[in-house]
Amino acid sequence: MAVWSPEKRVWWNEPVERGELLWVAIAFLWGVFMFFMMIYWHINGNQNLSTETYKIKPEDYVAKVEAFVERYQVGEEGDTGVPVVAPPPGSDVYLLARLWEFWPVLQLQKGQSYRLHLSSADWQHGFSLQPINMNIQVHPGYEHVMTITPMETGVFAVVCNEYCGAGHHTMVGRIRVVEPGQGG
Ligand code: CUA
């Protein structure tokens, strides 16, 4: 099969087909519509989280999480060696994503608000809180902060939902929510 030069080389001077123009217009208008729907869903659907985001060096974030764990650790999670941390209501709580764990296990009180900080020590990870299905991308170099108020007690799984290598499928953390007054 031979390869021929196009008949008209300056293709961008050719008129655009009416059908193609129509699709470009529809796609553009749909994009504008969905842009405003993002704002609408944020207000009326509670679908997007209001996070504050700050730049931070990964090693500085790790140091903050370590200091937080040292201050509020109350035990260890089973025989995993992962610390369980019970910070006081209203405080800043820190969660670190790294290959391949969420560290530490947070123990929070039902009905109390916390400022949850989230960042990564290495790769991109995903914070997916189950079964609530709250999802946040976690990047090294950026610290997300959001206010959370757990409304039911129980043990919630934090699943990594961004592929991050060989141990990705094992990257599961825990957040425990207890009745007020039960520690923390
Ligand atoms: Cu961390 Cu996938």
Same domain? 128 vs 96: yes
Q: Is 168 in the pocket of ligand 1 (CB under 6 A)?
A: yes
Task: Specify the DSSP element, H or E, that contains 164.
Answer: none
Cα of 140 from ligand 1 centre, angstroms: 12
Cα of 78 from ligand 1 centre, angstroms: 22
CATH code of 152's domain: 2.60.40.420
> What domain range is 19 assigned to?
10-44
Give the model confidence (pLDDT) of 25-46 as tens digits: 999 999 999 999 988 888 887 6
Give the model confidence (pLDDT) of 120-163 as tens digits: 999 999 999 999 888 899 999 999 999 999 999 999 999 999 99
Same domain? 130 vs 149: yes
Report pTM. 0.77
Q: Is 162 in the pocket of ligand 1 (CB under 6 A)?
A: yes
Could you tell me the pLDDT band of residue 183, with boundaries at 50, 70 and 90?
A: low
Domain count of the chain? 2
Cβ atoms within 10 Å of 64's Cβ, excluding its own: 16
Same domain? 40 vs 109: no
Q: Which residues pair with 101 in a beta bridge?
A: 98
As a whole number of angstroms, the distance between CA 162 and CA 42 comes to: 23
Same domain? 102 vs 26: no
